Amino acid sequence: MKYIIILTVFYYTIPAFAQEITEENYLQEDSLVWEKYKVIETRMFQLTEKYPEKRDSLLTVLYEKELPSILRESRNLALKYAAVPSGLKRLFIVRLEIPKDTLSRVLKSLSPEIRESFYGKCLHRHIITKQIEEGDLYFDFQGSKENGTEFHLSSLAGKRILLLYGGLGCMGEKGRTYLADLHQKYSDDNFEIVVFWPCSSLEELKEYKKRYPFPYTFVSDFFEDLSPVKITYGTQATPTCFFIDSQGIVKMRSEGFNPILCEQLLKE
């Protein structure tokens, strides 16, 4: 097929670097990985304009073949360069895609200084914590609302809860509109939407509320990547969504907003 042949021409190989594990080498290699993806992505979208009838198949190749390949390269670099700050941060970001025994071995191989760094502590907390899965009892957390008052998830006991880990911006206007309609439709039926924002301050949380003035509960604990919510619920992508039934059981976990499944659960 023409578009595959053209794509191959634009695919290039990352040059080899010295094996020295340094911050500079990591940043160079990781940058080249993502530059390669940008080249592929740009060319793919050019091809969708030239061959609109092949748009679906081209985007399938991009997102189901090329992007996963790039993510694997980035993940492998993070494992290789875990001993430098940016490599360790990336390792935490991709932690959900790597077995815990592998992460544990890598962490134990690092210097005490790196293990005691912020992302060393984040990774350790992830390793020793059981992440929430569908069928588990929800994790009760404490945080602050945008008005500064204290919030506990358990204060909504007996209600059905849609818990979102950030992501109102990521879901786009269409997603936000559907979410608002869902809230209005079921708000009188013991249903609450809670948006946990991974931010660093009350002022930042207030800004989110101004940007998205919806009647949902906005909350954060301001611990960012070391947040018990992020660690225990195993979140990274925004939004990551959890539907919790009136008995406190997590019935759904999804990366991205799944409106059809949410409404099915609300109708039960």
Kindly report the pTM of this predicted structure.
Answer: 0.86
Query: In which order are the strands placed within the sheet that holds 240-244?
Result: 150-152, 142-145, 217-220, 191-196, 160-165, 240-244, 250-255
With 70 as the cut, is the pLDDT of residue 223 above it?
yes
What is the residue-averaged pLDDT of the chain?
91
- Mean pLDDT (whole number) for 200-229: 97
CB 83 within 8 A of CB 21: yes
pLDDT-based confidence at 5, cuts 50/70/90? Answer: very low
With 50 as the cut, is the pLDDT of residue 160 above it?
yes
DSSP state of 156: G
Take residue 146 and report the two structure tokens written for it. 């945008």
pLDDT-based confidence at 218, cuts 50/70/90? Answer: very high
Return the H-helix or E-strand segment holding 48.
helix 23-50
CA distance 43 to 12: 13
Q: Angle 67-80/85-93 helices, nearest 10 degrees? A: 130
CB 218 within 8 A of CB 197: yes
Spatial CA neighbour of 175 closest among 93, 80, 259: 259
Q: For residue 59, what pLDDT is reported?
A: 87
